[in-house]
Amino acid sequence: MMSTLKIDMRSDTVTKPTAGMRQAIAHAEVGDDMNAEDPTVNRLEEVVCELLNKEAAVFACSGTQSNQMGVKVHCLPGDELLIEENGHIANFEAGGPAVLSGVSCRTIPGQWGMLDVDLLRGKIRADNQHLCTTRLVCVENTTNAGGGRAYPVDQLHRLGLWAHEQGLKVHMDGARLFNAVIAANSTAAEVCKHVDTISICFSKGLGCPMGSILVGKKDEIAKARRIRKLFGGAMRQAGIMAAACLYALDHHVDRMVDDHQNARVFAEMIAEIPGVIIDPDDVETNLVFFDVDRNLGNAGQLSAKLKQRGIGINASGSQRLRACTHLDVTQVDVEAAAQAIAECVAEGFSDVTGSVCGPYVRG
């Protein structure tokens, strides 16, 4: 069913291809990617390697697929990975590590969805036949359920160097890597300097219809390419999607500043609404999490009330909602959405039927 929402802030996955992106798709030169003969896919992989200063890359269908390819590249059945307790790989990929790779996830409480060396010390299993082998550290940048935060670059460097000293590999779920790069005022290469593999999603803030990519060392990406085939993700004339991704890298990265600014405007406006609980200073990127007072009703009810007004904002907990800004949402839109929340609070929404915890959206 096609969305009829006027302002859709459920996720940045709802973005539509721009006119320029559609032109790029229409004129894409294509070949058989299974045989490494699609020139547009090959160019995309080269461009991303240049941006991250890595050796090789492989195009994939989705962020979940490229994350799971990364897990299987680094781990053997019976191994475990370490991940912050809100991490997407552990919570929202349908049990992929266990099902696809025989890998268990050891979740560690962090702050804002982020790990640091102090949290990881003492977590590596001893070399003992009774225990699984700790093999991998997974980080998420930006954090999603952790609050849309971007890792400080020095923290990533510290974590990566420590992990390598312990003989561990590091995989980054970089679904919103470029949001993190913008927020950190850094470069993708610097952010990923001490990370072994990075998964980047093109269908979120970059605004593509689909696509992800896994980046790393040549031997590891060669292994990942075989895993992509195993997972049923090998593609043929994928250049039509790769062309959209190349267009996005040229036109949609720098403009993410607007998304971050719009998220902050939205946060500052709803912070003034009685019964809405948020600290605007906690908003770093394009994700805005906020709570509603229980005396007003629950998050699902407010989400349903907003939907009646043509505003899409999902509940992500009994009292928590998540709004997401993106290239199809303007400052005028976020101001209108904030005003709609104020009106819903003033009118009341506790009598509205709504899911207590709305569907979790990856984006």
Residue-wise pLDDT tens digits, 104-153: 999 999 999 999 999 999 999 999 999 999 999 999 999 999 999 999 99
Contact 140, 173 (CB under 8 A): yes
Q: Is the pLDDT of residue 363 over 60?
A: no
Banded model confidence at residue 324, pLDDT cuts 50, 70, 90: very high
- 3-state DSSP assignment of residue 75: coil
What pLDDT is recorded for position 3?
A: 67
* Range name among 135-149, 222-236, 287-301, 341-355 with the lowest pLDDT average: 341-355
pLDDT, averaged across the chain? 96
Contact 363, 244 (CB under 8 A): no
Q: Is the pLDDT of residue 17 over 90?
A: yes
Residue-wise pLDDT tens digits, 179-200: 999 999 999 999 999 999 999 9
- What are the distances in angstroms from CA 52 to CA 22, 46, 190, 304? 26, 10, 8, 41
Closest to 175 (Cα-Cα) out of 287, 341, 25, 18: 287
Q: Is the pLDDT of residue 58 over 60?
A: yes
- 3-state DSSP assignment of residue 92: coil
Across 265-278, average pLDDT: 98
What pLDDT is recorded for position 352?
A: 85
What pLDDT is recorded for position 4?
A: 76
Across 160-165, average pLDDT: 98
Q: Is the pLDDT of residue 167 over 90?
A: yes
Q: Is the pLDDT of residue 361 over 50?
A: no
* β-bridge partners, 276: 292
- For residues 181 and 253, give the distance between their C-alpha atoms in angstroms, rounded to a whole number: 9
Sequence-ordered list of residues with C-beta below 8 angstroms from that of 97, at least 6 positions apart, any chain = 68, 71, 75, 81, 89, 90, 103, 104, 105
Residue-wise pLDDT tens digits, 290-303: 999 999 999 999 99
Count CB atoms within 10 A of the CB of residue 125: 15
Banded model confidence at residue 2, pLDDT cuts 50, 70, 90: low
- 3-state DSSP assignment of residue 267: helix
Is 126 buried (19+), middle (13-18) or exposed (0-12) by CB count in 10 A? exposed
Instruction: Set out the domains of the chain in order of their start, with CATH numbers.
Output: 13-251 (3.40.640.10), 255-347 (3.90.1150.10)
What pLDDT is recorded for position 360?
A: 47
The whole model's pTM is what?
0.96
What pLDDT is recorded for position 353?
A: 86
Identity at 289, one-letter amino acid code: F
* Range name among 3-7, 300-304, 335-339 with the lowest pLDDT average: 3-7
Across 353-358, average pLDDT: 62
